């Protein structure tokens, strides 16, 4: 003899809507984390403004900076002017397609930037870019 329960039996269901919500939350979280992992290799200098600036892909690059006191930086490390050429030649041997980003302070002496540029050209690199604050974008005013 079988006794049946007066309570109706419910079968389990998988709800897809909460699963979609969780997936969108994870997607947004991973996107935000990946954007925050962009590393700046250059030294903080007061860049000059420019109207024709465009955003460059900073993959496989070397950042060389000079501040207003005439101190040179190779990827945030202080370096002497004479040591730039051997270091760049070492980078050129491992990756000749690397890009060189030159960051000169707005008040840096022109001769310091020129001497650094001469060292870069002597190393064999041909892909050079000067970093500036771009005012070409919409809503960007002077001093930003």
Report the 10 Å Cβ neighbour count for 75. Answer: 18
Q: Distance of CA 64 to CAs 2, 20, 68, 86, 96, Å?
A: 85, 46, 14, 14, 16
CATH class name, domain 49-134? alpha beta
Report yes or no: 103 and 47 within 8 Å, Cβ to Cβ: yes
Report the Cα–Cα distance between both ends of the chain, in Å, rounded. 85
Structure-block tokens of residue 65: 């900076």
Q: Any idea where the domains of the chain sit in the sequence?
A: 49-134
Query: What does each of the 144 residues of the chain score in pLDDT, given as a tens digit?
Result: 777 777 887 887 878 888 899 999 999 998 888 877 666 666 666 666 666 555 555 567 788 888 888 889 988 889 898 898 999 888 888 888 888 888 888 888 888 888 888 888 888 887 788 877 766 544 443 343
Q: Distance of CA 80 to CAs 59, 72, 74, 84, Å?
A: 25, 6, 9, 7
Report yes or no: 88 and 123 within 8 Å, Cβ to Cβ: yes
Nearest partner of 61 among 42, 43, 86, judged by Cα:
42
Confidence (pTM): 0.53
């Amino acid at each position: 003899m079988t006794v049946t329960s007066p309570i109706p039996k419910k079968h389990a269901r998988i709800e897809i809507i909460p699963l979609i919500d969780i997936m969108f939350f994870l997607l947004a979280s991973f996107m935000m984390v990946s954007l925050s992992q962009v590393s700046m290799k250059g030294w903080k200098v007061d860049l000059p403004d420019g109207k024709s600036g465009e955003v460059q892909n900073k993959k496989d690059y070397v950042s060389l900076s000079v501040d207003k006191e005439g101190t040179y930086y190779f990827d945030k490390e202080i370096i002497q002017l004479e040591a730039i050429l051997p270091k760049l030649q070492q980078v050129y041997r491992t990756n000749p397609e690397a890009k060189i980003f030159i960051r000169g302070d707005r008040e840096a002496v022109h001769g310091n930037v020129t001497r650094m540029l001469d060292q870069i050209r002597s190393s064999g690199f041909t892909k050079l870019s000067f970093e500036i604050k771009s005012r070409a974008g919409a809503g960007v005013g002077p001093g930003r």
